Amino acid sequence: IARVVHFNEYAILLASAIAARKAGVPATFMSMASLRGVDRRRLVFISDPLAIISYRNRLKDWDSWRDLRLPAKSVREVSDDTMFRSLGNSVMVYSPVRSGSPEVVFEGLRLDTSRKLLVAFTSSIDEVSANNLYLSAMKQAPFSEQQPFSDQIEWIEALIARVEASDDRQLVVRIHPREGANRRESTISTHLSLLRAHFDRSYKHVRIVWPGDEVSSYDLMELADVGLSAWSSTSLEMARFGVPAIVAFDRHT
């Protein structure tokens, strides 16, 4: 065998990749471009065994790349992808599509025009659990336990306490739609039960948007003065839209 090529990170395929590497046989990670949901016209080949390792290596090399401009064609592709994600109803996007009427969402959530709006997007916790298992199998370092918050619940609690005590801010917390039953998964996560136990109540300046609520994350991004994310791709999407974005957990993706 000259090389093992595996498609994405399905566990049964990774087992063959691990066996190949142990035997000194090179392995290649093959996927499809994450443009317009999934662009099946474009194949991506990665020499790293896991996507998360590839992300880490790109972060490590960022200082060498950050001052180089993207060509116009790449900027157009990023713009097209952003519009597709917000309007295209992709199977890779859990949020309802952008309504085009964010002011209706603002009124529906009974938000205050005199206060600055923070919008916080939680993330799907299974992504960290699965990646840590994969990293362990590949004998790679897990996610750092030195984080600003012990978990997302502590993060949201800190945000709520700060905003409720403020005189000029308000907060919308968008619980990740994947936590509830959706078009891709019929089950409800155990994490959602914990979130409801902590935050399913009334607040003066905070609104919680639950997975089953027909509110588009893209309308919320459009309304946000500042966007907050645990670690989901919403941080990248907000940055593309020009919304100041802050990520709460270090290098989870």
DSSP string, 60-102: HTHHHHTTSPPPHHHHHHHHHHHHHHHHS--TT--SPPP-S-H
Residue 249 has pLDDT above 70, yes or no: yes
Tokens of 109: 């959530």
pLDDT at 21: 87
Residue 79 has pLDDT above 70, yes or no: yes
Compute CA distances 67 → 54, 62, 246, whole Å. 20, 9, 21
Tens digit of each residue's pLDDT (9 = 90 or more) over 2-13: 999 999 988 889
Average confidence (pLDDT) over 53-58: 89
Average confidence (pLDDT) over 28-49: 90
pLDDT at 146: 92
Question: Which range, 48-52, 57-61, 91-95, 158-162, is most confident?
Answer: 158-162
